[in-house]
Each structure stands twice: as structure tokens, then as C-alpha cells.
Amino acid sequence: MRTKTSATLIACALAAGSIMASAPVASAADYCDSSGHTASNEPMSRCTELSNGYLYAHQSSNDKIAIQYSKTGGSSVSVRLGYTRSGSTHYSSYFTIKSGQTVVKQFGTGTGNYCQSMTGVLNYSGGTFQTPSTHC
């Protein structure tokens, strides 16, 4: 069930550009092992468990990247999501997220960039978190 929910969220984000959902947080990123693997265990999907949520990065074969933040606790915070590839970091605009919400931001990478390693990043006023690198 969790994998299907995450896949649905990412599919919606890829179609619409980004989304914010206020629903019980349940996604593949809710399982994140100490090596940064999600329940799907795909090398193009990596995650990081944070103290108040999960950061999830997925690279698809259509040159799209989806970065998801599922906030599970704590107070509202202003963050931006992005990815780092080949030394360059690309961010979304800042947005505010509260506990129980999930936000997915989608990025186009240009033709032929599939299978290049990248990390998902979450940036806020106190610092930056990142996922392990995706790979093929």
C-alpha cells in the first residue's frame, strides 16, 4: 500500500509540476533503511529519515526528478526542495509545510540525463539535508 501511495504522489507531481497534500502520511518513503533504500529498493529511488519526516528522491527514465518531503511531526517550517547533480544544485521556491503534509516537487533535467547520479536535498534556514545518491 505504501509503495502505491508514493507512486501515485510522484505520478501526480510529474504531471502537475508539484503538489501539496494534507493527508495521513503514508508512502514508500515512510520506510527508509539506514542505507537510504526505500521499500521498493530501486537504485533510482533513495531516501533519508529525518527527525520529523522523510526526504525521498526519485529519478525516472523520462528525464524527470521528483523530490518528496513527508513531514511527520514538529512545527511548521519554510523549506525548499531540490537536487544536486554534477556539482550543481537546483531548488524549488520556498514553501511552508506542517506536520501531516507531503510535498512533491518535480524537476526536468533535459534529454539524455537519465542514469546520472544525483542527490535529493531539503534546505531550510538551519541547514540542508540530503539523500544518498541515486544510481542505475
Whether residue 136 lies inside any domain: the answer is no
Q: What is the number of structural domains in the chain? A: 1
Strands (E), 1-136: 18-22, 45-50, 53-60, 64-71, 77-85, 88-91, 95-97, 101-108, 119-124, 127-130
Share of the chain above pLDDT 70, in %: 76
Whether residue 85 lies inside any domain: the answer is yes
pTM: 0.78
Whether residue 135 lies inside any domain: the answer is no
Whether residue 80 lies inside any domain: the answer is yes
CATH number, domain containing residue 75: 2.60.40
8-56 pLDDT, tens digit per residue, is 444 444 444 454 444 333 444 468 888 898 888 888 999 999 999 999 9
Whether residue 84 lies inside any domain: the answer is yes
Structural domain harbouring 106: 2-130
Whether residue 114 lies inside any domain: the answer is yes
74-90 pLDDT, tens digit per residue, is 999 999 999 999 899 99
